Structure 1
Amino acid sequence: MSIAAPRALLVVGVLALAGCQHTAPVLAPDVSARLESTPGGFLAGEVSGLEDSAVLNRKDFVWTLAFSPDASRVAYSHLGAREYLFALWTLRPTPALVVDKALNPSEFDVEALAFSPDGKLLASAGWDGVVRLFDAATGAPKVSVRTDEPLTAVAFHPTGGYLVVGSSQGLVTALRVADLGFSSEVRPHAGQVSALAFAADGTLYSGSWDKHIRVFDTREEVLRREQTRLRFERRGGHAVVAGVVNGKSPVAFALDARTPAIVLGTQAAAAAGIDTAFLQETVSMPTALGTIVARVARGQHLRLKGLDLDGVDVAVCDACLPPNVAGVLGAPFSERVDVAFDDATSEAVLTLKSPAPAKQEEQRGLVLAPRANFAFEAHVNDVTLDAAGRRLGVAFSESKAERNRTVYEREKKGLVEPPAEWNAAALVDATSGQVLRKWTRHRGVVASAGISPDGRSISSGGWDKQLYLWREGQEAPVAERRFGWSVRRVRFSPDGQQVGVAAWTPQKATGNQESEPAAALFSVRYAAPTVER
């Protein structure tokens, strides 16, 4: 460990840990005992510094990090040689790796992880548009679903029955946890959703690069199932939408009422659990090569976001498909569903021509009702919430947090941005949106701001390689650490004992490939800590 001499209350450090060994405890035994015996308890009081605790990764680009509700585990996503992975660690009695599991190919960033309120599930959301649920104790996969848009944020509703995901195009979608089935959606933002945070009462806060934080009431209601909206794109003269067959197979469908059947390719059919070799019935299908006899699978299920169609007959035929799609929604689909196009949002509006079955009309789901809109002068890169739901920790930047050639060239030349008013970490009132306190020491984009459970402190990280710990009422940071490259995510543990950091590190291709810390934990020091809940 390398820590410079103190300057007043400021502790400046360069992180240089060798492994996952803890320093001496920073809590007095009686405080530690009270914390352990208080369910849902957390430390409160004036933070006074950080102690280097453990380095979990010093090889990779680490993108995000999340603590379990009881602070006994931590997970982070990182970029391996060919794929994104998530690493799951247990922290008690000492840090130990549980699993390091592949998520998706390396071209799709994984920017979002979240534990369920009971700590039993871990959710991931990435730029491949897929939401995945894992057993949070073992890392075993549970269920996944592909959405319409690249995903950048995820959070569980405090009841544990729903989760919400945010997209790169401003969409916020509520899903059922049991099967990741669609519940509802809103498009409150004109830019990327950078963060989602729930208060204990179910209030949802969504932050975005469009310089807004939107606030929603959430409630469970009977859902309308006769209409849905979903993104479409143009491919080879067809409008193409995404659907799921039998709850298993995500399919890109071309909309074409001229085709006399609903069609699936053989790979999509197999993924949906259809064994083509055992199908007995056939149908004649016109193709560019002439008429083809295709086998028919009857009574299948088709889901198009919020629209469910039972009893769907499907023809399995590769030669019947237009290029670059796995299915066609033909005449039988058009007989049941009206299709209109909203070019302003690039969405197809699907409406059932006949009333939905009673069981679908009575299905309940989570609905997001707008309550408030907080507008700022800068892009919102991160939003966190204290335990009481009264204060937000917000990361701002004057320029959009997009890494481009200009950014890389500036970093390569060692150029440092000057301080700016809205390159800042801030305490924000969760009711009014008023900025209560703003700290502007970061040079450039402030990527992340983790608020302490008691709402009195913030840990922040930025592209200037810096981690700062701020305390309300004090201008200078009470502690800081410098990393090898960009700091991507910082979070207080739910009990207030630790700060976790996800960062990029200069990668090394030789030797043991170890570089500077990329996933690290710090113990938080308090001047006179108390235990609250």
Structure 2
Amino acid sequence: MNWKRTAGALLAGGWLAVGAGCAHAPPRLTPDVEAKLAATPGGYLSGSVVGWEQVAVLNRSDFIWGLAFSPVGGRVGYTRLGAKQYFLSIWSLGSPPKLLADPVINTYEFDVEGVAFSPDGSLVATAGKDGVVRLFDAATGAPRGERRTEEPLGTVAFHPNGKWLVVGSLKGLLTVLSAPGLEYASEERGHSALVSAVAFAPDGTLYSGSWDKHVRAWHTGLETVRPGVARVHFERRDGSAVLNGTVGGKAPVSLVLDARVPAIVLTSAAASAAGIDAASLKETLNLPGALGTTAARLARNQSLRFKSLVLEGVDVAVCDSCVPKGSQGVLGSPFTDKVEVTFDEVTQEAILKLKSGAPEGARGVETLVLTQRSDFTFPAHVSDVTVDASGQRLGVGLSEQLPERNRDVYEREKKKVQEPQGPNNTGALVDAHSGQVLHKWPLHHGVVSSAAISPDGHSLASGGWDKRVYLFTEGSEAPRGEHEFGWSVRRVRFSPDGHYVGVAAWTPQVASASGDSDPAAVLLDVRYTQPTVVTPAEGAATAR
């Protein structure tokens, strides 16, 4: 994408001065409300919404997947699919908006829908189908770390204290990682299907939504865990079990479990990724291989990690011919002598337990764990969950049709067949404690892909595959705002102060001299009747 051209377009009118020049535009914020909002840390607008106006088009060339606002710092970020790679575009919300960074995330084969800013606004996390969580500097886009998990990912959220983040997998797993180190902390198999959303309330309660038609609430608390047991994903391959671990704290590897091999073995590529310089190793160990006995180079005092289970001081042999094709290493007798391995075929997990228990003198590790508080069942697939500023209400997206894009969906779109409306194709306001639906608006045709609750908990923006975004407010059945896009809407989000709604959508690839198509990343200025500025303390007191 030509960012110079886009920036020029914004300066020429992409950031629109609306209201006074439009006879039917709802009123903008008055200068005194604008000033109070800017001067109130954590403050947000409250009141009945009466409409919105498009103020900026940030992208009109790409498929935009995920979008998030920074809690502080006035930034918005979205993930976009370029020609051959996914990118993270980070913008400041100035007048006009300014592109700050556009770093590469991963190759185009792996969708990246999860994006979230840290509470202090300094970091941006992404989560993609390649199973990798990545951190970027929110001002420069510089990479700040990454960790590969065991399952493809679709969503991510930071804990309010900024020390932890949670990622949701396409197979129902919720994984807690430390921030910014991205060390494994804990996990829960929270759902039986794809996790569509994870969102934290200010008190640390986590809400997770899934295509299994459930929203679950989780208490989060610190517990001391002794590093002697772990559950890890495994797969059967040619009659052997293959486990995923990490060598040297940085190299994820797939390892075949084989007690007949008298060593822990890595391929030369895996050893190099772990920081082992095989050429400089002097000691050797004779190992049987497909071509006979091999004198493998020996690297002593390495570390091997399987989530919370860590083996320190292990010796690792480097030998390509000793490792089965398609794997990166072998867990031989030095591993099986120390670790008891049992298999849970239902969850496809291997339970690893040190035979001697936790190492002598090893201290327990304080980590964040999830404990289920509530389970809300809905009559449709949950496509999105957001939480208001007080943590009392949820915005929930529901779809009667599974929100999965397949050939049938594309064929219907190609033929311009409109999906039906339904009572459960809707965005809904939901009580966060009881799960009661307080209000819903079944206006969309087909899949409702996203639902964003306003900070004050009284309004909702919903987006769907019918190319539309609606703005609703409590007490009114009719939408207060509507915006149409060229293709499917992927994500809608209110800014933390309630001033804007950001929309991520796909755009049709239209041939043009400029390379531009319909808007795909858009900022909408939300308008209120008699808005007030609420502080976090006032919002919490009102909720109680």
TM-score norm. by structure 1 comes to: 0.95
Residue of structure 2 aligned with 1:522, choices 521, 524, 535: 524
Residues 17 and 450 (structure 1 numbering): CA distance in 2 closer, same or farther, change over 3 Å? farther
1:23 lines up with 2:25 in the alignment: no
Conserved 8 A contact 2:15-2:95: no
1:154 lines up with 2:156 in the alignment: yes
Q: Distance in 2 between matches of 1:306 and 1:362?
A: 10
1:197 lines up with 2:199 in the alignment: yes
2:160 maps to a residue whose letter is P
1:299 lines up with 2:301 in the alignment: yes
Conserved 8 A contact 2:147-2:182: yes
- Residue of structure 2 equivalent to 1:112: 114
| Per-residue CA distance 1:105-137 (angstroms, 9 max, x = gap) | 111100100001111111000000000111111
Q: Distance in 2 between matches of 1:56 and 1:48?
A: 24
- Residue of structure 2 equivalent to 1:407: 409
1:432 lines up with 2:434 in the alignment: yes
- Residue of structure 2 equivalent to 1:145: 147
2:158 maps to a residue whose letter is F
1:339 maps to a residue whose letter is V
- Residue of structure 2 equivalent to 1:45: 47
Three-state SS of the structure 1 residue aligned to 2:204 is coil
| Per-residue CA distance 1:77-98 (angstroms, 9 max, x = gap) | 0111111111011112430111
Conserved 8 A contact 1:468-1:480: yes
Three-state SS of the structure 2 residue aligned to 1:437 is strand
Q: Distance in 1 between matches of 2:433 and 2:38?
A: 31
Q: Distance in 2 between matches of 1:78 and 1:241?
A: 32
Three-state SS of the structure 2 residue aligned to 1:232 is strand
Residues 358 and 499 (structure 1 numbering): CA distance in 2 closer, same or farther, change over 3 Å? farther
2:253 maps to a residue whose letter is V
* Correspondence 1:210-225 to 2 at 5 A: 210-225=212-227
Q: Distance in 2 between matches of 1:418 and 1:290?
A: 66
| Per-residue CA distance 1:427-479 (angstroms, 9 max, x = gap) | 00000000000101100000000000000000110000001000101001001
- Residue of structure 1 equivalent to 2:336: 334
Q: Distance in 2 between matches of 1:177 and 1:423?
A: 36
Q: Distance in 2 between matches of 1:474 and 1:224?
A: 53
Q: Distance in 2 between matches of 1:495 and 1:119?
A: 14
Residue of structure 2 aligned with 1:267, choices 266, 269, 287: 269
Deviation of 1:71 after TM superposition, in Å, equals 5.8
Residues 47 and 110 (structure 1 numbering): CA distance in 2 closer, same or farther, change over 3 Å? same
Q: Distance in 1 between matches of 2:174 and 2:97?
A: 34
| More divergent stretch after superposition (379-388 vs 411-420) | 411-420
Q: Distance in 2 between matches of 1:489 and 1:234?
A: 37
- Residue of structure 2 equivalent to 1:87: 89
Conserved 8 A contact 1:262-1:332: yes
* Correspondence 1:494-509 to 2 at 5 A: 494-509=496-511
Deviation of 1:399 after TM superposition, in Å, equals 1.4
Q: Distance in 2 between matches of 1:92 and 1:403?
A: 35
* Correspondence 1:427-506 to 2 at 5 A: 427-506=429-508
Deviation of 1:360 after TM superposition, in Å, equals 4.5
Q: Distance in 1 between matches of 2:179 and 2:329?
A: 27
Deviation of 1:22 after TM superposition, in Å, equals 3.2
Q: Distance in 2 between matches of 1:134 and 1:186?
A: 26
Deviation of 1:19 after TM superposition, in Å, equals 5.8
Q: Distance in 1 between matches of 2:182 and 2:385?
A: 24
Q: Distance in 2 between matches of 1:473 and 1:418?
A: 25
Q: Distance in 2 between matches of 1:66 and 1:384?
A: 11
Conserved 8 A contact 1:386-1:392: yes
1:227 lines up with 2:229 in the alignment: yes
Residues 19 and 260 (structure 1 numbering): CA distance in 2 closer, same or farther, change over 3 Å? farther
Deviation of 1:224 after TM superposition, in Å, equals 2.9
1:461 maps to a residue whose letter is G
TM-score norm. by structure 2 comes to: 0.93
Q: Distance in 1 between matches of 2:361 and 2:59?
A: 49
1:239 maps to a residue whose letter is A
1:387 lines up with 2:394 in the alignment: no
1:439 maps to a residue whose letter is W
Three-state SS of the structure 1 residue aligned to 2:14 is coil
2:349 maps to a residue whose letter is E
Three-state SS of the structure 2 residue aligned to 1:431 is coil
Residue of structure 2 aligned with 1:169, choices 138, 154, 171: 171
Q: Distance in 2 between matches of 1:384 and 1:449?
A: 7
Conserved 8 A contact 1:18-1:55: no
- Residue of structure 2 equivalent to 1:208: 210
Deviation of 1:361 after TM superposition, in Å, equals 3.7
Residue of structure 2 aligned with 1:373, choices 365, 375, 379: 375
Conserved 8 A contact 1:146-1:250: yes
Conserved 8 A contact 1:71-1:493: no
- Residue ranges of structure 2 left out of the alignment (5+ in a row): 1-9, 20-27, 536-544
Residue of structure 1 aligned with 2:351, choices 339, 349, 352: 349
| Per-residue CA distance 1:9-31 (angstroms, 9 max, x = gap) | xxxxxxx9986323247210000
Q: Distance in 1 between matches of 2:43 and 2:364?
A: 39
Deviation of 1:233 after TM superposition, in Å, equals 1.0
Three-state SS of the structure 2 residue aligned to 1:48 is strand
Three-state SS of the structure 1 residue aligned to 2:411 is helix
| Per-residue CA distance 1:146-185 (angstroms, 9 max, x = gap) | 0000001100011111001000000001111131111110
Q: Distance in 1 between matches of 2:518 and 2:360?
A: 59
- Residue of structure 2 equivalent to 1:11: none
Q: Distance in 2 between matches of 1:528 and 1:168?
A: 43
- Residue of structure 1 equivalent to 2:131: 129
- Residue of structure 2 equivalent to 1:6: none
1:75 maps to a residue whose letter is G
Deviation of 1:235 after TM superposition, in Å, equals 1.9
Conserved 8 A contact 2:394-2:432: yes
Q: Distance in 2 between matches of 1:95 and 1:373?
A: 40
Three-state SS of the structure 1 residue aligned to 2:530 is coil
- Residue of structure 2 equivalent to 1:74: 76
Residue of structure 2 aligned with 1:276, choices 269, 275, 278: 278
Q: Distance in 1 between matches of 2:349 and 2:12?
A: 52
Conserved 8 A contact 2:452-2:462: yes
| Per-residue CA distance 1:481-509 (angstroms, 9 max, x = gap) | 10000000000000000000000000135
Residues 465 and 71 (structure 1 numbering): CA distance in 2 closer, same or farther, change over 3 Å? farther
Q: Distance in 1 between matches of 2:379 and 2:53?
A: 35
Three-state SS of the structure 1 residue aligned to 2:335 is helix
Conserved 8 A contact 2:227-2:364: no
Give the number of aligned pairs: 518
Q: Distance in 2 between matches of 1:528 and 1:235?
A: 64
Three-state SS of the structure 2 residue aligned to 1:43 is strand
| More divergent stretch after superposition (18-27 vs 435-444) | 18-27
